Structure 1
Amino acid sequence: MHDQPPIPGRRGFIRQVAGTALLGTGLAACTSTASHGDNNDNTGPLRFAHGVASGDPLTDRIILWTRVTPGQDNGGGDIAVRWQLATDAAMRSVVASGTLTTSAHQDYTVKVDAAGLLPGHVYHYQFETGVAKSPVGRTKTLPRMDVRQVKLAVFSCSNYPFGFFNVYADAALQGDLDAALHLGDYIYEYESTGYGAEQGKQLDRVSEPRDVLLRLEDYRRRYAQYRSDPDLQAVHAAMPFIAVWDDHEIADDTWRDGSLDHKTSAYGPFKLRKLAAATAYHEWMPIRTPDPAAIDRIYRSFDFGSIVSLHMLDTRVIGRDQQLMMSSYFDANKQFDEARYRSDLYSPRRQMMGAEQMAWLDRQVEQSTARWQMLGQQVLMARMEYPKAVVLGECSSTAYVAAKRRAALDPASVTDQERRWLASPSLPCYLDSWDGYQSERERLFAIMERHRKNMVVLAGDTHNAWASDLFDANGRQVGVEFATPGVTSPGMEGGQPQRNPDDVAAMMTDMIAPLYYAQTSKRGYLVVTATHEQVRCDFRFVDTVQQHQYTAAVERSLRTLAGPGNRKLEECPPV
């Protein structure tokens, strides 16, 4: 039976193929601290039930965050909160402090932009109100020029019902991370009977509120549930976060003016839902809002000394045109209109980031003197194109790869039909990614080429781990991409459960030319370490998210070197 044409959207892409698990060393036996419950009741005294967090570090300042869970005794009025920042975990050497109020207007969240700090320094912070004190958090400012390395954790796709946050628990134990990047899908907007419902019931992690998220109060309650998880609280308390949203902070396959699942007739205007989602995001995340009058503008840059300029992009909300649907290019006789498909796909009018954000990125890259330009963004930038014969169902991916392997070993054994398969061009089919915005991707590549920069792209979104070389339309190598697996969201392993994941991974790397590495059956995160000479990516996975007991291991380490003769993936030499 031939493979079917690809299903649009992320889960269609995930179902299309299955994944791999590679062997590794360095096992760490751990126990998650997670429990459950949203800790959002208002029946007790004031307390800090959602922990503390910090984010958006600069050389002299950092955002500090917490939320006061209101009690009956505050009468629904304003709550005064005192904060302190110290150089020691015992909070004896206080270097900054202040008092501010919070209220129901901002869902009792608290944000402080603590300034006057020293670059590259570790600080500790705490909040108190009345007799209640928050946990003590640890954070770190950005370094200036004199820094030897930058080490970052990279997360994406943390769906509460699908499992315990063991990935966060493991990252919180790492003592040498400068910051964590979250590339989106920090929460999921589905109703409790939707995506992940069965797993949520089994693990007692059923989504709250029960209905799909539409109103500001809905999104606030979902953030409260996620932030009640002790493992998520632990990783926030251990390091500063630099975050951007993807689609599920709003709705599945969001674009500028809508989403795949949004029904205006039932849900109301999309712009109101988007505003509610963005408002809750800025309340609950330790993000420095670039423009309070335009809260959908979250792209921003961070300079880690002379090593990394990190540009956090919005490829989802502010500029994205609606996704194309491959199914709309088949006629009544199931004939595919390839010419119209390619014409629309490569149209220079199609935007992913939008002209304003692209011009901003151009300026940031031009002005940067850092060794590496690192893009933290949501969706895959690498070309994940499939052979046309596979996309259109003329042959299965298994048959295609078998023919390709035989052609390399024994060309005479390949049939005429198989030669036609192998001669067919590739077709973009995951149109929610950069493959659906071809001209916009070329504009971004041109920025890096024009300014002669070393580019490393970080991506999330797919729930799976990837490493790919990046090529422009003329075949020039322009950089590399590391894509992080999901924290809990399931990958491709469910698509073909009867197949060995290693075999499926080999099939994918054989079919997709720029794809260097695939791991699609495990949950985990990236540890990205940048020096002047290289950027190294350690793919770290946990063995389960279905129970609190877990082990964690680095299963693959890849790197890229600086300079125009490099900028490609290679194996890391043994340490």
Structure 2
Amino acid sequence: MKKNINRRQILGGLTATGALACSPQNSSSYNAQEKNYYGSFLHGVASGDPKSDKVIIWTRITPENPHLGQLNVKWELSENENFELISKSGFFATQIARDFTVKIDVKNLEADRVYYYRFHFNNNTSPVGKTKTLPEYSVEKANFAIVSCSNWEHGYFNVYDHISRQEHYDAVIHLGDYYYEYGAGEYEGASETNLNRIHSPKHEIITLDDYRLRHAQYRSDNSLQLLTQKLPLIAIWDDHETSNDSWKSGADNHDLNEGSWTERTHAALRAYYEWMPVREPKPGQLKSDIFRSFDWGNLLTLITVETRLTARAEPLVMEDHFEKITSPGGADSFKSDILNDPSREMFGQNQSRFIINELKKSKSSGTTWRVIANQVIMGRLLTADLEPYIDEGSLSIIEKDWKGVRKSIQLSKYKLPVYPDSWDGYPHAREQFYKELINEGIKDIIVLTGDAHEFWINDLTSKNNEKIGIECVTTSVSSKTMTAYLGENTSDYSLLLTQANPDARYYNALHNGYIDFSLSHENGKVKMMGVSTVKSQKYEAFEVASFELKRQSETIIATKPKGLNLKQRALFEGFGQSKS
């Protein structure tokens, strides 16, 4: 097990530069009460991967005797909440071999239709779930809740609770890190023991049984159950669904003494497909081929991608190249020869071909918007020089746990990737993707991203400064934000990093929350929603900032910002930013 120390821990020693954060406005109070459904359906219900003619419905049976053989579960789907008229029904045979999960891809449905569904087993009836198929032709508007990074130990899923209280969403898009693989207290500090939210099993999950147990624990959360009961889910995995900083052939958090990486990923993906309302790849495809597309009539095409297990090369650790980078001319050599190595793939050829073809079809059919659901930050974000802002006392404290902290601080002056396992760690792969888009005349993509535990609005530009589109990054549901490490200096660091990166239009690392994302044919709207706490189920929800997305020439820009303070607004407009 590798010690989990990350770059956020360096930043806790930043000295303040005097910036002030914007105070949240118009907050509302809520209480995410614990209400578990007892009987055979302890993990609730869910739906997902809606199409115009089909949708997946899901539940799990909790048998009194886990050694029973095959269990026959009845399912029903209706256009009426009281099930006066049954549209579809059937039986699903589940057993211990699939962890008693029930998952049906209900087909031959009507487009743009609300459906209700439920399950029956052993004289018990499940909660009634609500879902909706996609529109097939003309549609005026679509609304989504965008979420990422839900860590059981770090706090309550108040974000899920707040989303489930809203009535205007068509679907929830989960961008990964739906759960975390670490053992109790192993990820970014000790477990929140006062919340009684300790990972189960208590060890790092590696086997099929381990992954199933972790899914079961997260699905026991009342707020998650309410969310998936009320809205269809479109989900992709990031790294923690297998192991931290995963790539095609391994992971930072996978050691040889933990067994075969191939066996571990097979176990993780098997449990994922058992427990998630996600449509499995077609016969002949790999289990990791989770990339797929969804069409909301003539309004938008949504493409979900896979950036971990399909083709990704091993992430670089900048400190491993310290001597080369800090030698005369070494930084440029490192960037050209190692960082920009053409063999460092992200999508792979098959996935790239799929994405480009789907985008081409979308554009040629006259669809208004093209959206990519993506795991890690795609925009260019390079390090700001931190040496003037961190004191010796803080370095000495951090150095007790991390001997390499001084190297990391020294490297910050060389404009290296802020997040080496993001697209900045694979600049050649990103540039090739941009070239393919440009060659097809596609310069208007909206990329939705998670992973970073912070809000961003980033311009997407090629190395020749040709604009490709815009990126909207959501913060975490409950995983610790930068505030846990920087405290009152969080706003200062956000301004420093925004100033150093001309493609970064807005950065806020203060809050847990989600993005309220809506599209009409005229424009798009991004509302960054925050919650006041994840340490209590009594919380306030508020709008952190908002932006309008509109077309400008061939591309898309962010405009009409709200909720920004004076310094944030100046940087959003491009004043005071680095031009390099």
Q: What range is the shorter-chain TM-score in?
A: 0.7 to 0.9
Counting only pairs closer than 5 Å after superposition, residues 194-343 of structure 1 correspond to structure 2 as 194-195=186-187, 198-264=190-256, 266-291=257-282, 294-331=286-323, 335=327, 337-342=330-335, 343=337
Structure 1 range deviating more: 551-560 or 254-263: 551-560
Q: Which residue of 1 aligns with 2:404?
A: none
**Distance in 1 of aligned mates of 2:188 and 2:491:** 25
| 8 A contact 2:481–2:511 mirrored in 1 | yes
Deviation at 1:425, TM superposition (A): 7.1
**Distance in 2 of aligned mates of 1:150 and 1:10:** 40
Determine whether 1:170 maps to 2:162. Answer: yes
**Distance in 2 of aligned mates of 1:429 and 1:462:** 10
| 8 A contact 2:4–2:188 mirrored in 1 | no
Structure 1 range deviating more: 11-20 or 557-566: 11-20
3-state SS in 2 of match to 1:386: coil
**Distance in 2 of aligned mates of 1:70 and 1:181:** 31
Deviation at 1:196, TM superposition (A): 5.7
Determine whether 1:152 maps to 2:144. Answer: yes
| 8 A contact 1:187–1:248 mirrored in 2 | yes
| 8 A contact 1:197–1:206 mirrored in 2 | no
Determine whether 1:513 maps to 2:497. Answer: no
3-state SS in 2 of match to 1:222: helix
Q: Which residue of 2 aligns with 1:475?
A: 465
Letter in 1 for 2:125: K
Which residue, out of 468, 490, 501, partners 2:480?
Answer: 490
Counting only pairs closer than 5 Å after superposition, residues 460-471 of structure 1 correspond to structure 2 as 460-471=450-461
**Distance in 2 of aligned mates of 1:533 and 1:22:** 29
Letter in 2 for 1:350: R
3-state SS in 2 of match to 1:568: strand
Structure 1 range deviating more: 525-534 or 13-22: 13-22
| 8 A contact 1:55–1:286 mirrored in 2 | yes
Counting only pairs closer than 5 Å after superposition, residues 428-443 of structure 1 correspond to structure 2 as 428-443=417-432
Letter in 1 for 2:368: R
Deviation at 1:563, TM superposition (A): 4.6
TM-score, normalised to structure 1's length?
0.87
Determine whether 1:535 maps to 2:527. Answer: no
Deviation at 1:567, TM superposition (A): 1.2
**Higher RCO (C-alpha 8 Å, min separation 6):** 1
3-state SS in 2 of match to 1:186: coil
Q: Deviations over 1:389-424 (max 9, x none)?
A: x17x4x4489xxxxxxxxxxxxxxxxxxxxxx9xx8
3-state SS in 2 of match to 1:139: strand
**Distance in 2 of aligned mates of 1:124 and 1:24:** 37
Show structure 1 runs of 4+ deviating over 6 A: 17-20
- Please give the root-mean-square deviation of Cα atoms over the aligned residues, in Å: 2.5
3-state SS in 1 of match to 2:190: helix
Structure 1 residues without counterparts, runs of 5 or longer? 1-7, 40-44, 399-420
Letter in 2 for 1:83: W
Q: Which residue of 2 aligns with 1:190?
A: 182
Q: Which residue of 2 aligns with 1:371?
A: 368
| 8 A contact 1:35–1:229 mirrored in 2 | no
Q: Which residue of 1 aligns with 2:568?
A: none
Deviation at 1:448, TM superposition (A): 2.8
Which residue, out of 378, 381, 385, partners 1:384?
Answer: 381
Determine whether 1:56 maps to 2:56. Answer: no
**Distance in 2 of aligned mates of 1:15 and 1:79:** 52
Deviation at 1:288, TM superposition (A): 0.4
Determine whether 1:26 maps to 2:20. Answer: no
Q: Deviations over 1:201-220 (max 9, x none)?
A: 11000000011100000000
**Distance in 2 of aligned mates of 1:251 and 1:435:** 20
Is the alpha carbon distance of 1:24 and 1:159 closer, same or farther for their aligned partners in structure 2, counting shifts above 3 Å?
same
| 8 A contact 2:546–2:561 mirrored in 1 | yes
Deviation at 1:292, TM superposition (A): 5.4
Q: Which residue of 1 aligns with 2:7?
A: 12
Letter in 2 for 1:66: T
Q: Deviations over 1:44-63 (max 9, x none)?
A: x9600000000000001000
Deviation at 1:566, TM superposition (A): 4.8
3-state SS in 1 of match to 2:539: strand
| 8 A contact 1:21–1:519 mirrored in 2 | no
**Distance in 2 of aligned mates of 1:106 and 1:478:** 43
Deviation at 1:270, TM superposition (A): 0.6
Q: Deviations over 1:339-398 (max 9, x none)?
A: 3311211122210111111111111111113211101010000101124xx17x4x4489
| 8 A contact 1:485–1:524 mirrored in 2 | yes
**Distance in 1 of aligned mates of 2:517 and 2:482:** 24
Letter in 2 for 1:252: N
Which residue, out of 332, 345, 348, partners 2:342?
Answer: 348
**Distance in 2 of aligned mates of 1:483 and 1:164:** 21
**Distance in 1 of aligned mates of 2:126 and 2:486:** 46
Q: Which residue of 1 aligns with 2:415?
A: 426
**Distance in 1 of aligned mates of 2:69 and 2:102:** 15
3-state SS in 1 of match to 2:206: coil
Between the aligned residues of both structures, percent identity stands at 32
Structure 2 residues without counterparts, runs of 5 or longer? 392-409, 564-580
Q: Which residue of 1 aligns with 2:40?
A: 47
**Distance in 2 of aligned mates of 1:503 and 1:160:** 29
